[in-house]
Structure 1
């Protein structure tokens, strides 16, 4: 029901992001989605990758601070209002979205994938399922 996301703490200096991405590339790890939020001193790089455990091991071996979090991946029609519907369902159910990012699904040209972390992922997934809003599994993301 949930997908694994890497959260990597990257120093906010020239080349730091490039180094992390190069490390993954050199080890054959493909990124499916990426988002970065910054502060003055560091950034939090959030990624969905094809082999999360391998990526975590590679990064830890290089002393990179990394954590694995569970997030909800939602399939949306690529049309106006689709995201609004999801957010209304969550808000109406008392669930707050802490952060989210999206990417176009290359397999299903008419759909997008929204990755989100909620205050209660279990409740968020349940609310979306009740409304027949499709969730994307780890296996489906790995197959993209």
Structure 2
């Protein structure tokens, strides 16, 4: 139920993001979701891709500082309050969310929310007990 996320350290220089996406595209790696957080000097690009191990390798070989992190991908009803319900479940058991990002899946009429939490296994267990749909890595990589 864990999804492997690729994180890339990017200097705030012209063309760095384009270079990452070009490298992934050249290697037939499709981006499924992404988020970027930046400061004045650098950014952290977080990616869910079709082939995370290959993405890690080709980006590392291209000189990027790359790491992997386990995250969870949760299907949330695409309706007002859908995300709030999931967040309340985690809050009730004191699971802190470090960050999240989301996108809509038109085919299922649901949002897919990617969570990075401190207690990953506990979060998976509590969400499953509350009938929250958690996608496996393979499911997300193939979206």
Q: TM-score, normalised by structure 2?
A: 0.96
Segments of 5+ residues of structure 1 without an aligned counterpart are none
* SS of residue paired to 1:99: strand
Asked if the contact 2:34/2:48 (under 8 Å) is kept, the reply is yes
* SS of residue paired to 1:24: helix
The residue number in structure 1 matching 2:99 is: 99
* SS of residue paired to 1:126: helix
Aligned positions of 1:40-119 closer than 5 A: 40-108=40-108, 110-119=109-118
Residues 38-92 of structure 1, C-alpha deviations (whole Å, 9 max, x = no match): 0121100000000001111110111111111100100111111110001101111
* SS of residue paired to 1:94: coil
Q: CA RMSD in A?
A: 0.9
Q: TM-score, normalised by structure 1?
A: 0.96
User: Once the 2 structures are TM-superposed, how far is the Cα of residue 123 of structure 1 from its aligned partner?
Assistant: 1.1
The residue number in structure 1 matching 2:9 is: 9
Runs (4+) off by over 2 Å = none
* Alpha-carbon distance in structure 2 between the residues aligned to 1:69 and 1:142: 15
User: Once the 2 structures are TM-superposed, how far is the Cα of residue 139 of structure 1 from its aligned partner?
Assistant: 1.6
* Alpha-carbon distance in structure 2 between the residues aligned to 1:102 and 1:13: 26
* Alpha-carbon distance in structure 2 between the residues aligned to 1:130 and 1:36: 32
Segments of 5+ residues of structure 2 without an aligned counterpart are none
* SS of residue paired to 1:133: coil
The residue number in structure 2 matching 1:20 is: 20
Aligned residues: 143
Residues 70-124 of structure 1, C-alpha deviations (whole Å, 9 max, x = no match): 001001111111100011011111101000000112442x111000101111111
User: Once the 2 structures are TM-superposed, how far is the Cα of residue 21 of structure 1 from its aligned partner?
Assistant: 1.0
